[in-house]
Chain A
Amino acid sequence: MFTHIVRSLRLAVTWWSLGLFLVPVTSAGAELRVAAASNFGAALAELAADFESRTGHRLRVSLASTGKLYAQVVNGAPFDVLLAADAERPELLERSGTGVPGTRFTYAVGALVLWSRDPSLAGGDCREALSATAIGHIALANPETAPYGAAARDYLRRAGLWTDVEARLVYGENIAQTLQFVASGNARAGFIAAAQALDPRLPGATCRWEVPAELHEPLEQQALLLQHAEDEPAAAEFLAYLRADAARDIIARHGYLLPAR
């Protein structure tokens, strides 16, 4: 009886492992696991499709806040490439040996936008919502964990608006949730990535204002090859692709500034 059960289980496991082995055989290229900051999602989807059609490799993308991705990578998450929303965490990873030294570079420079769909703000530049007498919640990403949140806090402090709005601030867990707060109208206005403001699925904005880059720390978004993929040529290929003209065009079209070459 027992032998019978074990034999059936072994048969099941054999079939299952056969299934596992068949996947790499049927797909031509390598499979890369890319961990990317939430704000880069739309651009990365287009980049991935382009890269896949050029090389035959496949990208598996995980989106989260840079803080979370950092914690996951430090704790051994099996990612090949990190596309962070800042320069600080890739630098930490490179120095600690979790990333491959010398592979870190800026792939995009983010822009911050104040955005709203509130009809009462129509016609203006949204900044009305930040005044001391204004009402309604202002959404930003958590400054402790999300670079766009830190940039928004930077701007509010430098512009002397922090104390006026502090009590009305709500914090998205990452920039994608921040967008969700303001796009659903739950927050009256919010600081989102310029890249997100271009998304055609958004409801129409009643106002949008690009925060001048000199009013916050630059949003340098850096890429890093992770130790996990040190010997994976496809990962290096993808990083090289990100610096190429084809990729830069796509990145610029999604609302990012490009790093100097």
Chain B
Amino acid sequence: MNASDEFSALWLSVQLAAITTVLLILIATPLAWWLSGTRSRARPVIEATVALPIVLPPTVLGFYLLVLLGPYGAIGRWWVELTGDTLSFSFTGLVIASCVYSLPFAVQPLQHAFEALGRREIEAARTLGATPLDAFFSVAVPQSARGFLNAIVLSFAHTLGEFGVVLMVGGNIPGETRTISIAIYDRVESLDYTAAHTLSATLLVFAFAAMLAMYLVNYRGRRNA
């Protein structure tokens, strides 16, 4: 593996993490908002489902995704008819897998942020004539900025570090599904420890920087509050 392969693996992971994070914020925001306010009996069931990827081994997710996304699976069959290609072994498939895998890392910080909000300001905005959407964006979102930051950093970092699921549904295709964690694994297996060190150290420094930034912001926020 030469330097350009390593860069391409890193860049692929960054793209995957960025796209997954954007999609997850779009999915998780309404879900977390609903969860934070609902008294529905379905709430614990939904919460448990969202939390599953934290406790399930990636191999379980990877195995089910491989079965579901394959041409004989429920989603895969439909996708093959639509596009002529399988979802497994594709970047799109990895995006879907990553959204499942990192869902709790987006939903939980947002839900906690929304739960900590006073509902009174929102009700005040509503009585002043704001639509629910308006009230949400002008009152709830700015007050939950830290929750959003946490959700973004955690989803991004968690997706960047994804390994087991990608190994099982990715197929290790350079530039398409060979992410940085797979590239590191390959290097270790072929005893190319120099390249493995370079890639691993890059990931380590990035992960530490992301976590540090998040905790610094959280700490400042708490001190100012």
Contact = CB atoms under 8 A, between A and B. Distances in A.
Contact of A71 (B67, B85, B172, B189): B189
B171 A71 contact: no
19 contacts: A71-B189, A137-B86, A137-B171, A142-B172, A142-B186, A145-B186, A145-B190, A170-B173, A171-B172, A172-B172, A173-B167, A181-B171, A184-B67, A184-B70, A184-B72, A185-B72, A186-B69, A186-B70, A186-B169
B70 A185 contact: yes
Contacts of B213: none
Given A71-B191, A144-B186, A171-B171, A135 B84 contact: yes
A179 interface: no
A127 interface: no
Given A70-B191, A71-B189, A135-B84, 4 more contacts: A67-B189, A142-B172, A144-B189, A171-B171
Given A135-B84, A137-B86, A170-B172, A184 B66 contact: yes
Interface of B: 66-67, 69-72, 76, 84-86, 88-89, 167-169, 171-173, 185-186, 188-191
Nearest to A70: B191
B189 A68 contact: yes
A74 B168 CA distance: 26
Contacts of A185: 70-72
A49 to B, nearest CB: 27
B72 A145 contact: no
Contacts of B173: 169-171
A139 interface: yes
> Chain B interface mostly helix, strand, loop or mixed?
loop
A196 interface: no
Contacts of B89: 137, 170, 186-187
A222 interface: no
Q: How large is the interface on A (under 10, 10 to 19, 20 to 34, 35 or more residues)?
A: 20 to 34
A18 B69 CA distance: 49
A139 B191 contact: no
Contacts of B72: 184-185
A214 B186 CA distance: 29
A116 B169 CA distance: 18
A182 to B, nearest CB: 10
B154 to A, nearest CB: 27
Nearest to B87: A186
Contacts of A184: 66-67, 70, 72
Contact of A145 (B67, B84, B88, B189): B189
A112 B133 CA distance: 61
Nearest to B72: A185
Contact of B86 (A65, A173, A186): A186
A139 B171 contact: yes
Interface string A124-146: 00000000000101010010110
A69 to B, nearest CB: 10
